[in-house]
């Protein structure tokens, strides 16, 4: 029987390789975070080492390390918008809305995604869902009085759980906390209501931001939306 993990990794890599075809020389590319984004960055490093001229903005310290170690110049300032940003997702619905943030980079990921003319998701087919909300919504909150913020999230019908890693509260690259929150159903209105809570810095619901998703599976690679 084929190794299921190896197959999933091959699918992630296939999606990332298709996304590499979208990179235009001389542009600034937004680099996502996570295992699928890592394949895209690996491929971009190979192209840069072969002479492609691109610079990048990064969505996490982990991505910065990978990009810089491979020779990609990382910029911190952006004058105008990005041509392209490529990132993974935890869930993708048929309208290319997505849920992100299992890696804890959602705040920077959303800034980069919304600053891009083309925000393209790369994923293996296990990420496709009929409706977002299969898993919890990661919510980045300020540590200051985070329990009060958590109560406000509960009043919206959520069940927030402080993300713990290695026995300690997980800290994002911005030194904030994550509340992984189950809601029965999620929608655009919920996303707006979360933004109205003081102490909520960002949430992992990306409605209407991605232009396309490249999804790879056992039957090949398909495109949802428009890549151009
Ligand atoms: C990190 C993210 C990731 O893009 C998302 O969790 C998908 O990761 P992977 O490609 O490893 O499944 O949102 O904050």
Task: Reply yes or no on whether the pLDDT at 57 is more than 80.
Answer: yes
* 223 located within any domain: no
**pLDDT of 1 over the 60 cut:** no
Containing structural domain, residue 41: 4-130+207-218
The alpha carbon of 80 and the centre of ligand 1 are apart by a number of angstroms equal to 26
Q: Mean per-residue pLDDT for 39-44?
A: 98
Residues 181 and 70 in one domain: no
Going by alpha carbons, the residue nearest to atom 1 of ligand 1 is 103
67 plus 124 within the same structural domain? yes
Q: Which residues line ligand 1 (CB under 6 A)?
A: 32-37, 87-90, 100-106, 109
Q: Is the pLDDT of residue 2 over 80?
A: no
Catalytic residue positions? 109
Q: Is the pLDDT of residue 33 over 70?
A: yes
> 104-146 pLDDT, tens per residue?
999 999 999 999 999 999 999 999 999 999 999 999 999 999 9
Q: Point out the ligand 1 atom lying closest to the alpha carbon of residue 38.
A: 10
- For tokens 């392209």, what's the residue? 84
The preferred substitution site among 14, 34, 105 for testing ligand 1, maximizing ligand atoms within 8 Å of CB, is: 34
CATH of the domain at 169: 3.30.70.260
CB contact burial 186-224 (16+ within 10 A = b; e otherwise): beeebbebbeebebbbbbbbbbebbbbbbbbbeeeeeeb
Which helix (H) or strand (E) element contains residue 10?
helix 4-20
Interval 168-204: pLDDT, tens: 999 999 999 999 999 988 999 999 999 999 999 999 9
Which pLDDT score, from 0 to 100, does residue 3 have?
Answer: 84
Same domain as 31, residue 125? yes
Helix (H, G, I), strand (E, B) or coil at 157: coil
**What is the number of domains present in the chain?**
2
pLDDT cut 90: percent of the chain above it: 96
């Amino acid at each position: 029987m084929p190794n299921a993990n190896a197959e999933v990794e091959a699918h992630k890599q296939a999606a990332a390789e298709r996304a590499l075809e979208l990179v235009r020389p001389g542009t600034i590319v937004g680099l996502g975070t996570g295992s699928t984004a890592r394949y895209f960055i690996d491929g971009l490093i190979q192209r840069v080492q072969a002479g492609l001229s691109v610079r990048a903005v990064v969505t996490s310290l982990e991505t910065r390390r990978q990009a810089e170690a491979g020779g990609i110049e990382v910029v911190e300032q952006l004058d105008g918008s990005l041509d392209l940003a490529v990132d993974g997702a935890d869930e993708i619905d048929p309208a290319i809305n997505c849920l992100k943030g299992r890696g804890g980079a959602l705040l920077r990921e959303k800034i980069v995604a919304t600053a891009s003319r083309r925000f393209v998701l790369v994923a293996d087919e296990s990420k496709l869902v009929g409706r977002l909300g299969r898993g919890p919504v990661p919510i980045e909150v300020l540590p200051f009085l985070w329990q009060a913020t958590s109560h406000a999230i509960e009043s919206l019908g959520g069940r927030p759980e402080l993300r713990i890693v290695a026995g300690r509260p997980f800290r994002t690259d911005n030194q904030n906390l994550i509340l992984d929150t189950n809601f029965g159903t999620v929608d655009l209105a919920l996303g707006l209501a979360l933004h109205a809570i003081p102490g909520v810095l960002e949430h992992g619901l990306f409605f209407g931001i991605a232009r396309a998703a490249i999804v790879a599976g056992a039957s090949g690679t398909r495109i949802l939306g428009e890549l151009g």
